Amino acid sequence: MIRRGESAKTAASRLRSLAATAAAALVLAACSAQPPLTEFPGRIAIPAGATDLREHIDDQLRTMTAYYRFDLPPEQLPALVAALHCELGEVNDGARAAQNGDPPWFAPRPQQAHRRCESQIEHWMYELEVDVSRPDRYTVYLSASS
């Protein structure tokens, strides 16, 4: 709407300015959006079938620990284990207890059947805990520390 005494040219200029500001805000929002996660620390590829991926990075002064939890089709577990250079143990009960600093969603349920392994690749220490209680979909808990 043109204000009384204002020319159409001035109103159009103001409208263009508002449109440019809105477009800049959209571009800024798009640029600040994080790209989807494709790798764990140490350039370990996230399996293509991973769903419901959660991540928490605890970056301290001298150390960093990254926590991940995701669901994975059982047939993709061997490739992840091979990429981590670790050998999964036998199925056991009594998953590791939650530790100080773990995000609340990270603690494996101790009453569920699980397999675990640990490895070191370059300066990264990996701990992998896999809840194998559901045969159609495993829940994977992975921490990487440097």
Structure confidence at residue 146 as a pLDDT band (50, 70, 90): very high
For 64, the 3-state DSSP assignment is strand
As a whole number, mean pLDDT of residues 68-95 equals: 91
Give the residues across from 116 on adjacent strands: 129
Q: Which helix (DSSP H) or strand (DSSP E) does residue 59 occupy?
A: strand 51-59
pLDDT at 137: 96
- In this model, does residue 140 exceed pLDDT 70? yes
Domain boundaries in the chain?
Answer: 1-33, 39-145
Query: Tens digits of per-residue pLDDT, 24-80?
Result: 555 554 555 666 678 888 889 899 999 999 999 988 878 899 999 999 999 999 999
